[in-house]
Amino acid sequence: MRYIADHDFHIHSTVSRCCKDPGQTPDRILRYAEENGFNKICLTNHFWDEKVESEAEWIEEHGYSYLTSVLPLPESEGINFLFGAELDMDYNGMLGISEEILSELDFVTVATTHMHLDGNTVREKIKTPEEGAEIWLEKIRTLLKKDLPFHKMGIAHITTGHILKEKTPEVIKLLTDEDLYNVFTACAAKGLGIELNTKTIFNSEEEKEILLRPYFIAKDCGCKFYLGSDSHKTSALDTAKENFERIITLLDLEEKHKFKL
C-alpha cells in the first residue's frame, strides 16, 4: 500500500525567531492539517534547553519559556496536535535538551545539518564540502552513541541547503555509500526516524540523483520515514501536501516505510 501523506512532524510557529510570518500561528497550522486530511501534526519550534551547559552562546528566545508559550495547543476532532521541538548539537556534540524536558515532549527532530551557525553548531565557518561531509558524519555518529528515546526522535532535513547552501549537493556527493549504509543501519536499529523534507528540490537530473541517494540507502537499511514541511510561513503550508506526494512517489514508499508516533 502506498505511503499515505497523513501527517507533518516538522512545523514552526512565530515562537521560532527565524519565523517572520505573523500568520504562522498554531490555529493556522491546525487549519492546514484539517484542509489536507492529516491525523497528526507536530509543532517543532527551535529550542535550546537552558539546563544544558554549552561553550556556545545560544539565542535566549529559544529557551523553554518561549517553547511552552504556545500551550495549550488548539484542538480539532480527528487530529492529534503534538508538542515537540527542533534540537541542535553544539560544536562539542552536546545535544540541547535535558532528560527531564525530553521526557515531556511528544517528538523531537534533530538538525545535524545546521552548519551555518559558526560559533554554535560548528566551531568555525565551514569553507569546503569536505569539511561539511566530515562534520555531518561526526554529528550523526555522536548522536547515535547517546542514550536517548530514539522511538520519538527524527533526523531533520538531511539534504537541504543548511550545510553549504548551493554547495550542499557537493557535500552529499562526498558521503560514500559505505558511510551512509553504516549510519542508516544504525539509525534503523535505534528506531530513529528519517525526515522527508519538502524543501528538497532538484536543479538538474544529476542533482536529483545525488540528493535522493541517501534516502534510497536509508530505505534499503530499513529506516522509517516521516514527513516534515519545516514550514516557517503560511505560503509553505499551501504547497506542503503536494511536495509530500512528490517525494513519496520518487522514493516509491509504502506504508511499511512509515515512522509512527
| Of 68, 61, 48, nearest in space to 120 by CA | 48
pLDDT digits (tens, 9 = 90+) for 21-79: 999 999 999 999 999 999 999 999 999 999 898 888 776 778 899 999 999 999 999 99
pLDDT at 164: 64
pLDDT digits (tens, 9 = 90+) for 102-129: 999 999 999 998 888 787 888 888 889 9
Residue 56 vs residues 5, 125, 138: alpha-carbon distances, Å: 38, 14, 18
pLDDT at 238: 92
Query: Are residues 255 and 1 in contact, defined by beta-carbon separation less than 8 angstroms?
Result: yes
Q: Has residue 202 got a pLDDT over 90?
A: no
**Can you tell me the distance from the alpha carbon of 158 to that of 71, in angstroms, rounded to the nearest whole number?**
29
Is the bond leading into 214 cis (omega within 30 degrees of zero)?
no
The percentage of residues in the chain with a pLDDT greater than 90, rounded to a whole number, is: 77
pLDDT at 66: 92
Residue 33 identity: A
pLDDT at 203: 76
| Of 158, 154, 184, nearest in space to 169 by CA | 158
pLDDT at 161: 62
Q: Has residue 241 got a pLDDT over 90?
A: yes
The percentage of residues in the chain with a pLDDT greater than 70, rounded to a whole number, is: 96
Mean pLDDT for the chain overall: 93
The secondary structure of 95-154, three-state, reads ECCCHHHHHHCCEEEECCCCCCCECCCECCCCCCHHHHHHHHHHHHHHHHCCCCCHHHEE
The three three-digit cell numbers of residue 121, written as one number? 553548531
pLDDT at 201: 66
Residue 118 identity: D
Q: Has residue 197 got a pLDDT over 90?
A: no
**Can you tell me the distance from the alpha carbon of 30 to that of 43, in angstroms, rounded to the nearest whole number?**
10
DSSP state of 206: H
Question: Which of 150-159, 197-206, 220-229 bottoms out in mean pLDDT, i.e. has the lowest?
Answer: 197-206
pLDDT at 113: 87
